[in-house]
């Protein structure tokens, strides 16, 4: 079998013969996993292993996902309530955090908000069993980098985790290029002192562009970072949102800052042309 699913029916995670008996998962936490062999250890540029913290109160789910991620080459630690998760997240050395929303002692929104308020910008992928755009919006508004609803595909979770790790943690909460300022903590944007109202998607697009400090971002990179690696819609959605963004950050100002680099992508150019 090349693929197995964990579900209410009692299917189990793919495993090597040497692995311990796999856990059965609750119905609301269906996870799809590919049956695959152990991958090599995923490392940082300095050769150290990439470390992931999973904060999830459903122990069978946490253990199953952790086991799958270890097979993908990550070092994984788990916490099963909000307070212990927050304390672990405050430690240095994690490359990413997978964070459930519905946790005992402290919910995921509060954990995320607390970490961002303390200047801890470890990338966060937030999980929830709840549906709806308001839950997703609240997760992102409190500082999460991405969002995944249960039941989820393990393959998609890994792809999103890879995307977060490629971006890494932002160096600063505020991004500045020329007169343009983006405050990731407060979710505000200003140019020449004037506040600019951005939708959540426009904000993420501008953030992805500004984090490159003037370097070119390809359409594929923007699709991956802003819409997610599993996006299967029209790639021209990037051009559409670039148009929306231009109208907001450029139409009432001089000179224009959002530039198209033919055949390459898009970049933000400071007001002085640098």
In the prediction, which pLDDT does 20 show?
39
What pLDDT shows up at residue 141? 79
Q: pTM (2 decimals)? A: 0.54
What confidence score (pLDDT) does residue 43 get?
64
Domain covering 3-167, topology: Rossmann fold (3.40.50)
The reported pLDDT for the residue numbered 28 is 40
Check residue 187 and give its pLDDT. 79
**What tokens appear for 182 in the block?**
């983006």
- CATH architecture of the domain formed by 174-268: Orthogonal Bundle (1.10)
Give CA separation, 205 vs 152, 162, 218, 262, in Å.
24, 18, 12, 18
Handedness of CA 140, 143, 145, 147 (dihedral sign): negative
Q: Where are the domains of the chain?
A: 3-167, 174-268
Specify the 3-state DSSP secondary structure of 65.
helix
Give the residues across from 190 on adjacent strands.
181, 195
Number of neighbours of residue 188 by Cβ within 10 angstroms: 15
Question: Mean pLDDT of residues grouped by 10 in the chain (274 residues)?
Answer: 30 36 43 49 67 94 94 94 92 85 92 81 82 71 84 90 80 79 84 92 91 87 85 90 96 93 92 59
At 201, is the secondary structure helix, strand, or coil?
Answer: helix
Query: Whole-angstrom Cα distance, residue 105 to residue 107?
Result: 7
Query: Whose CA is closest to 237, among 263, 205, 259?
Result: 205
């Amino acid at each position: 079998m090349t693929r197995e699913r964990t579900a209410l029916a009692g299917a189990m995670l793919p495993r090597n013969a040497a692995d311990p008996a796999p856990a059965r998962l609750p119905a609301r936490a269906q996870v799809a996993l590919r049956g695959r062999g152990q991958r090599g250890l995923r490392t940082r540029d300095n050769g150290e292993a990439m470390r992931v913290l999973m904060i999830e109160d459903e122990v069978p789910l946490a253990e199953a996902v952790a086991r799958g991620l270890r097979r993908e080459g990550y070092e994984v630690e788990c916490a099963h309530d909000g307070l212990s998760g927050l304390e672990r997240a405050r430690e240095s050395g994690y490359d990413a955090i997978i964070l459930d929303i519905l946790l005992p002692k402290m919910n995921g929104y509060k954990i995320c908000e607390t970490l961002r308020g303390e200047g801890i910008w470890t990338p966060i992928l937030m999980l929830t069993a709840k549906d709806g755009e308001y839950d997703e919006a609240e997760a992102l508004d409190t500082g999460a980098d991405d969002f995944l609803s249960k039941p989820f595909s393990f393959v998609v979770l890994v792809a999103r985790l890879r995307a977060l790790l490629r971006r890494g943690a932002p160096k600063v909460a505020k991004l500045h290029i020329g007169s343009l300022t983006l405050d990731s903590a407060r979710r505000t944007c200003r140019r020449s002192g004037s506040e600019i109202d951005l939708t959540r998607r426009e904000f993420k697009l501008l953030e992805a562009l500004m984090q490159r400090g003037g370097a070119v971002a390809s359409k594929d990179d923007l699709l991956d970072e802003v819409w997610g690696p599993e996006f299967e819609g029209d790639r021209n959605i990037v051009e559409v949102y670039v148009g929306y963004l231009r109208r907001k950050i450029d139409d009432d100002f001089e000179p224009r800052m959002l530039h198209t680099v033919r055949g390459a992508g898009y970049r933000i150019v400071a007001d002085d042309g640098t």
